């Protein structure tokens, strides 16, 4: 393009120069006859044509430049995630395909990452707030990535993907661990702290399969990590389908568990260490399967939620607890409140208030002897409805404890909005508090905010006298844990009800 312009300029200069030479040669003798006028006009015409051509070149060049810029823009729209500035999913698939070709024969890994409870975050933070949080999450993920990692936005709003070439399973797991740990740190959000949980699915392999297969396997692993819930990662393996069929078997077994009397309730004492008295019990479900043995509630409660059985299980449990309280009352014991765990699904299903009222009426039990424990997650789907349900429960006269405080989306701001009367500090903080001054600071903050809000504080998982002493020193007198007692069968609770167990 530039060459043409230079040529045009040279031509113009040559023409002017030749006219100049003609003039110098013939000088004053030059007569304006018809042929010299014609020659002059032709030359001027040629000059104008050249100028026109030059102008045309310049404007075409500008148009092409603008077109190129527009193309670049469109390309970046097609290959870049506009919110985070990261490559988008189609760009990631292309890049992964390319890198699989250049690194064929090496172990290549893909991580699929998802921000858990995205819809809930959307409800709470709104569109702009969530965008801001996703930008922060993207920056933090970028920080967790090393040299060989390519981070991109996934194909769904709440997701990210990472490609890593030349990595083995252990290194991939370390990367996942790093991501989970980093994302667990609170995010600074509109002058308060916001907690996120992520799930990570991974796949790694040598053969030169298409990138999409590798990505697909990471996504399958992600589903399992999500089912396990809360900061989990899971590595794809070819026998994963077997895990799925085991779950299917458990699903069916759980359907029969209630009818077959395989479920039972145990009660863990809660102590007021200041007065050395029993302050309550927590009721915990147990499932003993005839061939599989004891199955942890951490495994079967999520299953029950998944297959729609949690409502029946919850109703059964509330009935059992009411019946037990009446039994104890009839045996002459003074009653203390018994807390039942209520899952977020029960809160959102809408029949919890009726169930509680029905059971209290059926067993003729005073509401003050029942308590429910909910985690902050229970308000995640529909904040207003969930709060209304909790308030209705409180109106019946049943108190509400906020369970596992510090592990979910804990924000102290949030605590204000939950109509709880008690906060249970998760055992993770209690168990580390001697070594970790952060944990101590968190416990102290929860105690001081709770007392300002008029709420009690109970520490879970107290296992040693050292923990008990430190908790009392910090101002927390209510506690529960193996130091006092493991969860007990109903008949073993009597020494606790009489106060006998606390005499020594
Ligand atoms: P959670 O509500 O946090 O219950 C406390 C768990 O900590 C219980 O485990 C209890 O046995 C255990 N624990 C108590 N003291 C100590 C201690 O000093 N050290 C240690 N390491 N652990 C201690 P469990 O019974 O296995 O229950 C696990 C979780 O399952 C419960 O956690 C609760 O989230 C859920 N769950 C149990 N029963 C029910 C139920 O009836 N309904 C619902 N929705 N969830 C339940
Ligand atoms: Ca609990
Ligand atoms: Ca708990």
pLDDT at residue 325 tops 70: yes
Instruction: State the distance from the centre of ligand 2 to the C-alpha of 255, rounded, in angstroms.
Output: 23
257, 284, 461, 486, best to mutate for ligand 1 pocket (most atoms within 8 Å of CB): 284
Q: Indicate the top mutation candidate among 254, 285, 297 to test ligand 1's pocket, ranked by most ligand atoms within 8 A of CB.
A: 297
Pick from 41-50, 356-365, 480-489: least confident: 41-50
CA of 249 to the centre of ligand 1 (A): 24
- 74 — pLDDT class (breaks 50, 70, 90): low
Query: Atom 13 in ligand 1: which residue has the minimum CA distance?
Result: 461
Instruction: Provide mean pLDDT across the span 3-23.
Output: 64
Q: Which residue bears the tokens 């929860």?
A: 446
Q: Per-residue pLDDT tens for 412-461?
A: 666 788 899 999 999 989 998 888 888 888 899 889 989 999 999 999 99
Residue 286 Cα to ligand 1 middle (Å): 10
Domains and CATH numbers, the chain: 3-79 (no CATH), 89-241 (3.30.70.270), 261-502 (3.20.20.450)
pLDDT > 70: percent of the chain: 84
| Centre of ligand 3 from the C-alpha of residue 504, in Å | 27
Which ligand 1 atom is the nearest neighbour of the CA of 424? 3
Q: Which residues contact 383 (CB under 8 A, 6 or more apart)?
A: 123, 124
Between residues 77 and 439, which one has the greater pLDDT? 439
Could you say which ligand is closest to the alpha carbon of residue 401? 2
- Return the axis-axis angle of helices 240-259 and 310-330, rounded to nearest 10°: 40
18 Cα–ligand 3 center, Å: 99
Query: What per-residue confidence (pLDDT) applies to 34?
Result: 61
Q: Please list all protein residues whose beta carbon sits less than 5 angstroms from ligand 2, which is an ion.
A: 341, 373, 403
pTM: 0.63
Q: What is the pLDDT of residue 18?
A: 63
Residue 209 to residues 90, 236, 339: CA-CA distances in angstroms?
17, 15, 53
When pLDDT is averaged across residues 29-38 and rounded to a whole number, the result is 60
Burial class (CB in 10 A: 0-12, 13-18, 19+), 77: exposed
pLDDT > 90: what percent of the chain?
Answer: 46
Beta strands in 158-276 (DSSP E): 159-165, 187-189, 192-194, 198-205, 232-235, 263-272
Residues with CB under 6 A from ligand 1: 268, 284-285, 296-298, 301, 317, 341-343, 403-404, 427, 461, 463, 481-482, 487
Ligand 1: nearest atom to the Cα of 285: 38
Average pLDDT taken over every residue of the chain: 86
Determine the average pLDDT of the residues in 458-485: 97
Taking each continuous run of H as one helix and of E as one strand, the counts in the chain are 17, 16
Centre of ligand 1 to C-alpha 68, Å, is 62
The residue whose two tokens read 């699904």 is 345
Residue carrying the six token digits 């004053």: 28
**How many residues would you count in the chain?**
504
**Mean pLDDT, range 7-20, rounded to an integer:** 65
392 exposed, middle or buried (CB, 10 Å; 0-12, 13-18, 19+)?
Answer: middle
456-459 and 370-374: which strand pairing?
unpaired
Q: Which ligand has the minimum distance to the alpha carbon of residue 431?
A: 1
Report the pLDDT value the prediction gives residue 237, as an integer from 0 to 100.
83
Q: Which residue has the higher pLDDT, 220 or 316?
A: 316
Least Cα distance to 283 among 299, 296, 266 occurs for 266
Query: Phi/psi class of residue 215: alpha, beta or left (left: φ > 0; alpha: ψ in -120 to 50)?
Result: alpha
The residue whose CA has the least distance to atom 20 of ligand 1 is 461
What pLDDT shows up at residue 8? 60
Residue 470 has pLDDT above 60, yes or no: yes
CB 499 within 8 A of CB 477: no
Q: Is the pLDDT of residue 4 over 60?
A: no
Residue 92's φ and ψ, nearest 5 degrees, are: -65, -45
Q: How far away, in angstroms, is 47 Cα from ligand 3 center?
A: 90
Flag the least confident range among 238-247, 277-286, 292-301: 238-247
**CA of residue 443 to ligand 3 center, whole Å:** 15
407 alpha carbon to ligand 3 midpoint, in Å?
A: 10
pLDDT in tens, 242-258: 666 777 788 889 989 98
Which tokens sit at 22? 């003609």
Lowest mean pLDDT among 135-149, 190-204, 391-405: 190-204
Mean pLDDT of 118-136: 86
For the CA of 463, the nearest atom of ligand 1? 18
Atom of ligand 1 nearest to the CA of 482: 18
**Closest ligand 1 atom to the C-alpha of 343?**
44
Which residue owns the Cα nearest ligand 1 atom 12?
461
Atom of ligand 1 nearest to the CA of 297: 30
Is 308's pLDDT higher than 60? yes
Residue-by-residue DSSP string for 332-368: TPPP--EEEE--HHHHHHS-HHHHHHHHHHHHT--GG
Q: Give residue 426 CA to ligand 2 midpoint distance, Å.
A: 9
The residues, ordered by sequence, that sit 6+ positions from 312 with a Cβ below 8 Å of its Cβ are 258
Across the range 49-58, mean pLDDT stands at 70
pLDDT in tens, 178-205: 898 899 888 887 777 778 889 999 998 7
If one residue of 341, 408, 430 were mutated to test the ligand 1 pocket, choosing by the most ligand atoms within 8 A of its CB, it would be 341
pLDDT-derived band at 284, boundaries 50, 70, 90:
very high
């Amino acid at each position: 393009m530039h060459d043409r312009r230079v040529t045009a300029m040279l031509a113009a200069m040559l023409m002017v120069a030749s006219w100049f030479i003609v003039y110098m040669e013939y000088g004053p003798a030059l007569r304006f006859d018809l042929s010299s006028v014609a020659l002059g006009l032709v030359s001027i015409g040629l000059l104008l044509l050249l100028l026109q051509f030059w102008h045309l070149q310049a404007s075409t060049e500008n148009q092409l430049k603008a077109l190129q810029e527009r193309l670049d823009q469109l390309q970046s729209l097609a290959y870049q995630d506009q919110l985070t500035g990261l490559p988008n999913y189609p760009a990631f698939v292309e890049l992964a395909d390319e890198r699989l070709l250049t690194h064929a024969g090496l172990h290549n890994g893909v991580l699929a990452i998802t921000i858990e409870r995205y819809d809930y975050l959307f409800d709470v933070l709104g569109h702009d707030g969530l965008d801001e949080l996703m930008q922060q999450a993207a920056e933090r993920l970028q920080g967790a990535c090393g040299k060989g990692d390519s981070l991109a936005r996934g194909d769904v709003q709440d997701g990210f993907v990472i490609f890593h070439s030349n990595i083995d399973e252990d290194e991939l797991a370390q990367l996942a661990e790093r991501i989970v740990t980093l994302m667990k740190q609170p995010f600074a959000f509109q002058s308060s702290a916001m907690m996120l949980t992520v799930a990570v699915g991974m796949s790694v392999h040598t053969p030169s399969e298409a990138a999409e297969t590798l990505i697909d396997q990471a996504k399958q692993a992600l589903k399992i990590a999500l089912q396990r819930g809360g900061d989990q990662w899971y590595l794809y393996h070819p026998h994963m389908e077997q895990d799925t069929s085991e779950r299917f078997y458990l699903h069916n077994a759980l359907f029969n568990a209630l009818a077959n009397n395989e479920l039972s309730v145990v009660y863990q004492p809660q102590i007021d260490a200041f007065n050395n008295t029993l302050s309550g019990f927590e009721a915990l479900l147990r499932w003993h399967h005839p061939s599989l043995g004891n199955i942890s509630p951490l495994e079967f409660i999520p299953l029950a939620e998944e297959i729609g059985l949690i409502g029946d299980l919850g109703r059964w449990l509330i009935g059992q607890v009411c019946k037990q309280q009446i039994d104890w009352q009839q045996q002459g014991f003074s009653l203390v409140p018994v807390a039942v765990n209520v899952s977020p699904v029960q809160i959102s299903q809408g029949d919890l208030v009726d169930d509680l009222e029905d059971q209290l009426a059926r067993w003729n039990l005073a509401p003050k002897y029942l308590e429910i424990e909910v985690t902050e997650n229970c308000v995640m789907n529909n904040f207003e409805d969930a709060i209304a349900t909790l308030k209705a429960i409180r109106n019946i006269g049943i108190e509400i404890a906020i369970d596992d405080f510090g592990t979910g989306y804990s924000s102290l701001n949030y605590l204000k909005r939950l109509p709880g009367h008690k906060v249970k500090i998760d055992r993770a903080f209690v168990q580390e508090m001697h070594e970790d001054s952060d944990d101590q600071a968190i416990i102290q903050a929860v105690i001081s905010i709770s007392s300002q809000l008029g709420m009690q504080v109970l520490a879970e998982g107290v296992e040693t006298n050292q923990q008990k002493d430190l908790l009392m020193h910090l101002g927390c007198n209510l506690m529960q844990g193996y130091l006092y007692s493991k969860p007990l069968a109903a008949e073993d609770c009597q020494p606790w009800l009489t106060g006998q167990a606390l005499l020594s």
